[in-house]
C-alpha cells in the first residue's frame, strides 16, 4: 500500500509540473535507466569461468597417427583368361584348397580354344628350348673336362713341373702352357654361361606354363588357403574382355584365396613423423567399418623412400595385427596410432594448460580462487598431455581455458588463459579431478 501511495504522489507531482520540467524529468529517468543497465551488463561481462584440471601422476604415451588401408598381402585373386561357359565348379565359398587344386572347369568357345592352343604351343616350345639348353650344357661340360685334362697333363710333366712338385715358372711362361691353360678357362666360362642359359630356359617354361593355365579350360588355385568371394555358377558365361591399350585379353576374376597370415595395414605418415617410427613398435588400429573396436599390432616395415603424390610425400608403414579376423577385408579404410615413447609415474597436465610467453614456460594454478602464473620445466609431450618435471605438484588445480559468460543467458565463449577466443575446456584423459570455478573480477 505504501508503494502505491508513493507512485500516486509521483504521479500527482508529475502532473503538476510544467511541460518543460516534465521533459527534463523524463530525460533524467531515461539516462539513469541506461546508466544502471550498462553498469549491470558490464558487471556481467566481467564474470569469467576458469575450466580446470588437476595435475596428477600417470603414464605418458607419445604416439604418431596416420591413415591408410588393409593390404591384400594375405590373399590373392583366382582369375582366368579363358572364355566360354562354366561346366563345373569343384569348390564352394569357404572351402580349403592347396596350390594347383581345381577350382572350376570351362567349356571353351572358339576364341578360348584358339588362345588355349597357342598357349600350349608356347609351353611346348619352351620345353624344347630347355631340353636343347641342357644338351648344350652336357656338351660344354664334356669339352671343359677334356681341356682341363689336357692342361693338367702339360702342367704336371717334367717340363713345367720340378721334381719336388713345385711349378717350373720359367718354362710355364712358354706359349704351349698358356694355350692349354686358356683353352681350359675358356671352356669353363662357356660351361658357366650355359648353366645360366638353362636357368633362363627353365624360367621361360614356367612362364609359358602359367600362361597356359590362364588360358586353360581348367581353373586352378594359385596358392593354398580359404576360397572367398566365389562368384561362379554352372552355365555362367565368361565373355572376352580386351584391354584397349595393350590389345590383350583381360583376366576375369572369379574368386580369392585367403591365407592364414595375419592382416597387414598400410599407414601413410608424413616426413615429420616417419623418423620417429621403428620396426617392432606397438600400434593400435581402428577401422571405419568397426568404429567401436580397437585392434593391436606392431610395425613390421618402414618405407623410407616414400611415395610422392600431387607434390606431397607420404611414407608407407606396414603394421601387422596381433590377431586375425574374417571381418577384416582387403582395402578397408583404417587409422593407426603408433606408440613411439612411454614414460611411467610422471606428473601430467593437459597440454592446453602449458603456456609460453617471452621465452618462459609457465602454468596458471588456482590458489585461493585466484590464478597464479607458476614457471615450470616441461619434459615429454603428447597431443593431449605434457610431463611436468618441476614447478608444480600433484593435486594442483591448473587452468586449461577461460570461459567468458553472461549471467543473463548462462551462455559463454571459451578463451585461452592469455586472450583470444578458442575451443572448449579440456578433460584430463586419465581421469583427473577437473572442474569449473567462477571468479569475479
Alpha carbon distance 176, 153 (integer Å): 12
| pLDDT (0 to 100) of residue 416 | 47
* Residue 9 pLDDT > 60: no
- 264 and 301 part of one domain: yes
pLDDT at 211: 86
Q: What is the pLDDT of residue 440?
A: 36
| 204/333 same-domain check | no
Residues 316 and 304 reside in one and the same domain: yes
pLDDT at position 34 is 65
pLDDT at 337: 93
pLDDT band at 252 (very low <50, low <70, confident <90, very high): confident
Q: Provide the pLDDT for residue 40.
A: 59
One domain, residues 97 and 227:
yes
pLDDT at 205 over 70: yes
pLDDT at 426 over 60: no
Residues 199 and 88 in one domain: yes
Radius of gyration of the chain (CA): 43
* Predicted confidence (pLDDT) at residue 413 exceeds the cutoff of 50: no
Region 261-287 average pLDDT:
92
CA distance 178 to 226: 64
The predicted-structure confidence for 14-23, as pLDDT tens digits, reads as follows 555 566 666 7
* Percent of the chain residues past pLDDT 70, beyond the cut: 81
Residue 197 has pLDDT above 50, yes or no: yes
The pLDDT of residue 348 is 93
Q: Are residues 159 and 252 in the same domain?
A: yes
**What pTM was computed for the model?**
0.55
Tell me the sheet residues that pair with 414.
403
Cite the beta strand spans of 55-134 per DSSP E: 56-70, 75-80, 84-89, 96-97, 102-108
Beta-carbon neighbour count of residue 394 at 10 Å?
A: 13
Query: Which domain-ending residue is among 303, 328, 343?
Result: 343
Same domain (yes/no): 331, 360: no
Domain end (from 326, 343, 360): 343
pLDDT classification of 188: cutoffs 50, 70, 90: very high
Same domain flag for 212 and 240: yes
Instruction: State yes or no: pLDDT of 265 exceeds 90.
Output: yes
199: pLDDT strictly greater than 90:
yes
Is pLDDT above 80 for 404?
A: no
* 214 plus 311 within the same structural domain: no
Provide the 10 A C-beta neighbour count for residue 43.
Answer: 12
For 56, the grid coordinates are 596428477
Rounded to whole angstroms, how far apart are CA atoms 289 and 327?
9
The pLDDT of residue 281: 94
Question: Are 331 and 372 in the same domain?
Answer: no
pLDDT at residue 427, as a whole number: 34
Task: Tell me which of 388 and 240 has the higher pLDDT.
Answer: 388
* pLDDT of 7: 47
On whether both 130 and 223 belong to a single domain, the answer is: yes
Number of structural domains in the chain: 4
Q: How far is CA 139 from the centre of its chain?
A: 55
Same domain, 158 and 203: yes
Which of left, alpha, beta for 419 (phi over 0: left; psi -120 to 50: alpha)?
left
- Highest-confidence segment of 206-210, 310-314, 334-338, 418-422: 334-338
Q: Region 189-209: what's the mean pLDDT? A: 94
Between CA 168 and CA 289 the distance in angstroms is: 82
Grade residue 412 by pLDDT with cuts at 50, 70 and 90. very low
Q: Which residue range forms the structural domain that includes residue 18?
A: 2-44
Q: Higher-confidence residue: 286 or 246? A: 286
Task: Using the 3D structure, point to which of 298, 315, 343 is the last residue of a domain.
Answer: 343
What CATH code is carried by the domain that includes residue 365?
A: 2.40.420.20
138-142, 258-262, 299-303: which range is least confident on average?
Answer: 258-262
Q: What is the CATH number of the domain that holds 328?
A: 2.40.30.170
Q: Give the residue-averaged pLDDT of 299-327.
A: 89
As a whole number, the mean pLDDT across the chain is 83
**Domain at 89, CATH number:** 1.10.287
Amino acid at each position: 500500500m505504501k508503494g502505491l501511495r508513493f507512485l500516486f504522489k509521483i504521479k500527482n507531482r508529475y502532473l503538476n509540473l510544467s511541460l518543460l520540467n516534465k521533459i527534463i524529468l523524463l530525460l533524467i529517468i531515461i539516462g539513469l535507466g541506461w546508466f544502471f543497465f550498462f553498469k549491470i551488463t558490464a558487471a556481467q561481462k566481467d564474470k569469467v569461468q576458469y575450466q580446470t584440471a588437476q595435475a596428477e601422476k600417470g603414464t605418458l604415451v607419445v604416439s604418431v597417427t596416420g591413415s591408410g588401408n588393409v593390404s591384400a598381402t594375405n590373399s590373392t585373386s583366382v582369375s582366368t583368361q579363358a572364355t566360354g561357359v562354366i561346366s563345373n565348379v569343384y569348390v564352394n565359398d569357404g572351402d580349403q584348397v592347396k596350390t594347383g587344386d581345381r577350382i572350376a572347369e570351362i567349356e571353351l568357345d572358339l576364341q578360348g580354344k584358339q588362345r588355349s592352343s597357342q598357349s600350349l604351343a608356347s609351353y611346348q616350345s619352351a620345353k624344347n628350348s630347355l631340353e636343347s639348353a641342357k644338351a648344350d650344357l652336357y656338351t660344354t661340360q664334356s669339352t671343359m673336362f677334356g681341356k682341363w685334362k689336357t692342361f693338367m697333363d702339360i702342367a704336371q710333366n717334367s717340363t713345367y713341373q720340378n721334381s719336388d712338385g713345385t711349378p717350373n715358372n720359367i718354362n710355364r711362361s712358354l706359349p704351349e702352357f698358356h694355350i692349354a691353360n686358356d683353352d681350359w678357362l675358356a671352356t669353363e666360362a662357356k660351361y658357366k654361361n650355359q648353366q645360366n642359359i638353362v636357368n633362363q630356359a627353365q624360367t621361360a617354361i614356367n612362364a609359358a606354363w602359367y600362361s597356359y593355365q590362364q588360358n586353360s579350360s581348367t581353373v586352378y588355385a594359385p596358392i593354398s588357403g580359404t576360397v572367398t568371394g566365389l562368384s561362379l555358377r554352372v552355365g555362367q558365361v565368361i565373355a572376352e574382355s580386351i584391354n584397349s591399350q595393350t590389345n590383350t585379353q583381360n583376366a576375369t576374376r572369379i574368386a580369392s584365396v585367403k591365407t592364414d597370415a595375419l592382416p597387414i595395414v598400410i599407414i601413410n605418415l608424413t616426413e615429420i613423423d616417419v623418423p620417429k617410427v621403428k620396426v617392432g613398435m606397438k600400434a593400435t588400429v581402428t577401422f571405419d567399418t568397426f568404429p567401436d573396436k580397437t585392434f593391436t599390432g606392431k610395425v613390421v616395415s618402414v618405407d623410407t623412400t616414400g611415395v610422392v603424390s600431387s607434390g606431397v610425400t607420404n611414407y608407407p608403414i606396414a603394421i601387422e595385427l596381433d590377431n586375425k579376423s574374417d571381418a577384416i577385408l582387403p582395402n578397408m579404410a583404417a587409422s593407426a596410432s603408433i606408440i613411439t615413447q612411454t614414460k611411467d609415474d610422471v606428473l601430467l597436465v593437459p597440454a592446453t594448460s602449458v603456456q609460453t610467453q617471452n621465452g618462459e614456460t609457465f602454468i596458471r594454478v588456482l590458489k585461493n580462487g585466484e590464478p597464479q602464473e607458476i614457471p615450470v620445466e616441461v619434459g615429454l609431450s603428447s597431443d593431449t598431455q605434457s610431463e611436468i618435471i618441476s614447478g608444480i605438484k600433484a593435486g594442483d588445480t591448473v587452468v586449461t581455458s577461460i570461459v567468458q559468460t553472461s549471467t543473463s543467458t548462462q551462455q559463454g565463449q571459451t578463451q585461452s588463459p592469455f586472450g583470444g577466443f578458442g575451443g572448449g575446456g579440456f578433460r584430463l584423459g586419465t581421469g583427473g579431478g577437473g572442474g569449473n570455478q567462477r571468479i569475479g573480477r
